[in-house]
Structure 1
Amino acid sequence: MKNLFGQSKLPAIILTLGTVLVLWFIPVPEGLNLQAWRLFAIFMGTVVGFMLQPVELGTVAFVAMVFAALTGALSFPQVLSAFSGSTVWLIVSAFILARAFIITGLGRRIAYITMRAFGDSSLKLVYSLALSDLIIGPAIPSNSARAGGLVFPIVQSLAEAFDSYPGKSARKIGAYLVVCVFHLDLVVSAMFLTAMVGNPIAVGIAKKVLDVDITWIGWFVAAVVPGTVALLAIPYVLYKVYPPEIKETPEAKVIAAKALTDMGPMSRSEKYLLFVFVFLLALWATASITKIEVTLIAFMGLAILLLTRVLSWNDVISEKRAWDTLVWVGSVITMSDYLNKTGFIPWFSRLLENQMVGVGMLTAVVLSFVIYLYSHYFFASMSAHVTAMYAALITLGAAAGAPAFISVFVVAIASNICGCLTHFGTGPAPVYFGAGYVDQKTWWKIGFGVSLMHIVIWLGVGGVWWKILGYW
C-alpha cells in the first residue's frame, strides 16, 4: 500500500518502531512511573504509525495493544476494554446507518429535493447542496461517504450539465461548486457529534482527560449558531472572490426534477429509514431528559432497520469501515484513558500549567484552536490528528483557567474545519481536488482564506454565542 513515502514502507516502519524504542529507553521523567512512560511510548508510536501508515490503521492499533499487554503497559483485561466502550460502538452504529442511506438512495433523494426547491442560481444551488448535507449529516459520520459518495456525483453531473469541465471551462460553475461544497461539508461535520468519526473520539478523550460530558444535543446547541453563520458566509464570500461565470441556473431544477422522476416514488425502505432517522434525532435531542444512552438509541435504530429488512445482517457485517474503526478508535480511546489513569496526563497538565503562568485564558483558548488548525498541514487524516494532538491541546486552555467545556469544544471544532487547508487533509479532499476543476495553488490559497474565516466565525461569533449560553 502507498503511504507518505510512496511505494516503500521501510522508512515508515523504521520511524514508527524507532519512536517507540527511543522513548522506551529514555530515563523516566521525574514525577512519572514506568508504566505511564512506557504506555506513552507505545501511544506515540501508534500516532506516528497512524500518520505514516506503514500498514493499515487497524493493524497499527492492534499490534500496539498486543505489545502493551505483553510488556505490562496495560493488562490484558484493559486491552479488551478497548472494544466495549459506548463511544466506539456509537461510531460503528453510525457507519452502518450511513450504509442504509446509500443502499436505499434516500441521501440522493434528499439532495435532489433540496436542489429542485432552491437551485435556480449558482449561489442558491450551493446552499441547496449544503442543506441536503446538513439534513443527512447527523446520520453519516464519514465525510468521505457523505461528501464524496453521495454529494460529489451530483456536483460533477451539475457542472457537466452546464458545459463546465476541467480546464478552460472550469470557472463557468464547476470550480465554484467544487470548492464550496467541499468546504461546507467540513462545517456540517463540525455541527453534529455524529457527523464526523473524530467527534465521538474527541468526546471520549474529553471525558477521560478533563471529565467533561458533551451530549449530542449539547454539541449541536453549541455549534448551531457559528455553524449556520459559516454555512451562509463561506459560499457568499467565495461567490465574491472566486465567482462562477454562470450566475443563474434554472436548468438545475430541471435536472433535479428529472432525477427524482427517474428514481420514482419513495420505496418502502426509504420510508422506514426516514422514520428511523427522525426517531433517532428526536431521541438524541432529548437524551438528557429520557436518560437513554446515546449509543443505545443508535442500537435501537439499527434494530428497527434490521427487523424491517431495510438492512440485512450481511449489510452490517459487510460494512468494513465500521469494524476497522472499532479496532483503531477503541485502541486510541483506551490508551488515552490509561495515560490519564496512570498519571501521564496529569503530569503533562502540570507542565503546561507552569508554562502558562501569566497567559490569559482567552489567549490560551485561541492558541489551542490556531495551533490545532494549522498543524493539520502535516496530517492526511483528521482522525489521526485527533489521536495525535487533541488530548494535549485541550489541556492548554484548561491550564490557563479557561472553562473545561470551552477548552475541549474549541479544539473539537478545529478538528473538523482543519481539513480545509490542503488537497489531502481529509477524505473528500482528494476526490474534489482530483476532479481537476481547481489547481493546487488556488486550492491552497482558498483553503487558507477559508481558515481565516473559520477563526473569525468560530472564535468570534462562537465566543459570543457561548457567552450567551453561559459557558464562559
Structure 2
Amino acid sequence: MKKLEKVNYKGFIAPLIVGILLWVLTPLRPGGLSPQAWEMFAIFVATIVGCITKPLPIGGTTLVGLVVTVLVGLAPMKDVVDPKTGAVVSTGVLSAFGNSASWLIAMAFIMAHGISKTGLGHRIAYNMIKKFGKRPLGIGYAITGLELILGALIPSNSARTGGVVWPVVKSVAEGYDSKPDDETRKKIGAYIDFTAFHANILSTALFVTGAAPNMVAQQMAAKQNYQMTWISWFFAALVPVAIGAVVVPFIIYKIFPPEIKETPNAKKWAGDKLQEMGPMSTPEKIMACVFVLAIMMWTLAGFFKIPQLDSTFVAFLAVAILFVTGVLTVKDALKETGAWNILLWLSILIFMAGKLIAFGFIGWFSQTIQTDVKGIGWGVVLAILVLLMFYTHYFFASGTAHMTALYLPFLSVAVATGAPLALSAMLLAFTGAFNASTTHYANGPASVLASTGYVKQGEWWKLNVVLGFVYLIIFGVIGTLWMKIIGMW
C-alpha cells in the first residue's frame, strides 16, 4: 500500500503563529503604512520563518507563501493591465517565473552537472593535490585553490563541498590513517576538513554565482537600482579573496595545526587517481571549452555592455551547446533537481520582496531608520549594519533566508543615510558569504564538514570566532579600500 510522504507539520507552527500574530496587528500598524504593506510583510516574515523551520523543503515553503499571497488578494495570478493606458496596474505571480537571475542559476546548475558527469571537477582536484600536496599547508592551499576554481564552475556551495571537495579531503585523511571521532583525527583530517570549509567561504565570496545567497543579493540590489554583473562582483571580490586565500589556511595551520608535517603520500595518491582516470576524454574537453567560452562572454558583456551577451542568454547558450555536442542530455537537465528547485523558490522570494517595495514597506522602513540615525555618519551606520548582518547569522540556519530577510532593508537604510550604493551593496553581499564562519549549522557546507567528526563542535565555534574577525578586517577594511581604488565609490 502506498503511503503519504513525510511532512514536518511541527515546522508549520512557528510561521503560522508569527504570520497570524502580525496579520491581526494590522489595525495597529505604524503610521505611514497601508494595510496591504503590513499584510504583505506578515506573509513575507512567516515565509522566511518557514524557510528556517522547514515544514517543507524551501521550494514548497515559498510556494505556500505565494499561494497565501494570492488567496488574501495581495497579488493576482496574471498581470492586471489598465485598458486605457496599457500600463501594468498589479503584477501577477506568474511574472515571478520570468526572472532572469533565477533562470541563470538554473542553467548554471545544469552546466555544473556536466562538470560532475564528465569527471572534469575531480581531474582538477587531483591535479591540485599532486602539485601542492607535499605538506599539510600545501594541501590546505591546494584545497583552497580547488574551491576557487570550482566556485566558477559549480553554483552551489553545498554541491562543491559534498560532491568534489569532501571526497578528496576524506581520501587524503584516510591515506594517513587519520580517522574521525578518535585520537588520530588531528593527524591531518581535522586541519584539512576545517580548511576546506573556509575555502568554500572564499569561493562563495569570489563569484556572484558562488552560492544562492549571492544571487538573492544581486536581485535585491537591482531593486535599489544597483546592477551586480558577474565581472563587477569578481573584480570587487578579487583582492580581499586573494588575501583571504593566502592568510586563512595559514592562520588555521597555526591555531589548529595538524600533527603530521610532511605529506608525500598525498602526491602519490593524486597521481594514482589521475592515472586511473587516463587522458582527458572528449566530453571533458568540450565541457572545459564551453565553460571557458561562457566565462569569456560574461566578461565581455560586463566590460562592453553588449545586449546580445546577456548573462542569462550566455548560460542558455552554453547548455544548448552541451546538448548539441552530446555532453549532456535533456534527461540529465531534468534530473538536476537543484536547478528547478532554486528556480522555484528564488523567483518567489524575489517576487514577494518586490511586492514589499511596491506596497511601500521598504521605503517606509528606510525612511524611519534614517530619521532615527540622523546625525550619525554613513560610515558608522554601514559598519553597524555589516556587524549586524554578520552576527545575526547565529540565529539563522540558512544563508538564503538570512539574505532574503535582511539584505534589502539593510541596503535601503545604508543608502538612506548617505552611504555609497555600490559599496553598501557589495559589503553587505560579501558579509552574507563570510557570515557562514559562525556556527556548525550556518550553511550547507558547514553541515557537511562539521558533522564528519574531524572537528569537534566546541572547536568549530571557538576557531570561527577568530576567523570571523579576520574576515571582517579583510572584507570590511581592505575590501572597502580596494573598492575605492577601483572606483566603485
TM-score by length of 2: 0.93
The Cα shift of 1:302 comes to 0.5
Letter in 1 for 2:95: S
Q: Contact 1:352 / 1:395 at 8 angstroms: preserved in 2?
A: no
Q: Residue 137 of structure 2 aligns with which residue?
A: 123
Cα deviation digits, residues 422-456 of structure 1 (max 9, x gap): 11111111221221111110011111111110011
Once the two structures are superposed, the pairs formed by residues 180-191 of structure 1 within 5 Å of their partners are 180-191=195-206
Letter in 2 for 1:207: A
Structure 2's unaligned 5+ residue stretches are 1-5, 79-91
Q: How far apart, CA to CA, are the structure 1 residues paired with 2:163 and 2:376?
A: 45
Q: Does residue 44 in structure 1 map to residue 45 in structure 2?
A: yes
Q: Contact 2:148 / 2:199 at 8 angstroms: preserved in 1?
A: no
Cα deviation digits, residues 166-192 of structure 1 (max 9, x gap): 221111111110111111111110110
Percent of aligned pairs sharing the same letter: 40
Cα deviation digits, residues 392-451 of structure 1 (max 9, x gap): 221232122110111111111111111111111111112212211111100111111111
Q: Residue 265 of structure 2 aligns with which residue?
A: 251
Match of 1:416 among 433, 436, 445: 433
Structure 1's unaligned 5+ residue stretches are 1-6
The Cα shift of 1:8 comes to 9.3
Match of 1:104 among 118, 121, 136: 118
Q: Residue 301 of structure 2 aligns with which residue?
A: 287
Q: Residue 329 of structure 1 aligns with which residue?
A: 346
Cα deviation digits, residues 228-253 of structure 1 (max 9, x gap): 10111011111111111112212111
Q: Residue 142 of structure 1 aligns with which residue?
A: 156
Q: Contact 1:93 / 1:302 at 8 angstroms: preserved in 2?
A: yes
Q: How far apart, CA to CA, are the structure 1 residues paired with 2:381 and 2:488?
A: 16
The Cα shift of 1:11 comes to 4.2
Cα deviation digits, residues 246-265 of structure 1 (max 9, x gap): 12212111111100000111
Q: Does residue 354 in structure 1 map to residue 371 in structure 2?
A: yes
- Where 1:246 maps in the other structure, the secondary structure is coil
Match of 1:404 among 421, 431, 438: 421
Q: Does residue 15 in structure 1 map to residue 14 in structure 2?
A: yes
Q: Contact 1:356 / 1:399 at 8 angstroms: preserved in 2?
A: no
The Cα shift of 1:66 comes to 1.4
Letter in 1 for 2:157: N
- Where 1:420 maps in the other structure, the secondary structure is coil
Q: Residue 74 of structure 1 aligns with which residue?
A: 75
Q: Contact 2:110 / 2:339 at 8 angstroms: preserved in 1?
A: yes
Q: Residue 230 of structure 2 aligns with which residue?
A: 216
Across the aligned residues of Structure 1 and Structure 2, the Cα RMSD in angstroms comes to 1.4
Q: Contact 1:377 / 1:425 at 8 angstroms: preserved in 2?
A: yes
Q: Contact 1:191 / 1:227 at 8 angstroms: preserved in 2?
A: yes
Cα deviation digits, residues 130-162 of structure 1 (max 9, x gap): 112111211211111101211100101001111
Q: Contact 2:216 / 2:346 at 8 angstroms: preserved in 1?
A: yes
Q: Does residue 60 in structure 1 map to residue 61 in structure 2?
A: yes
Letter in 1 for 2:252: L
The Cα shift of 1:275 comes to 0.3
Cα deviation digits, residues 250-304 of structure 1 (max 9, x gap): 2111111100000111111111100011001111111131332111111110000
- Where 2:440 maps in the other structure, the secondary structure is coil
Q: How far apart, CA to CA, are the structure 1 residues paired with 2:7 and 2:103?
A: 34
Q: Residue 33 of structure 1 aligns with which residue?
A: 34
Q: Contact 1:39 / 1:74 at 8 angstroms: preserved in 2?
A: no
Letter in 2 for 1:20: G
Q: Residue 198 of structure 1 aligns with which residue?
A: 213
Q: Contact 1:120 / 1:248 at 8 angstroms: preserved in 2?
A: yes
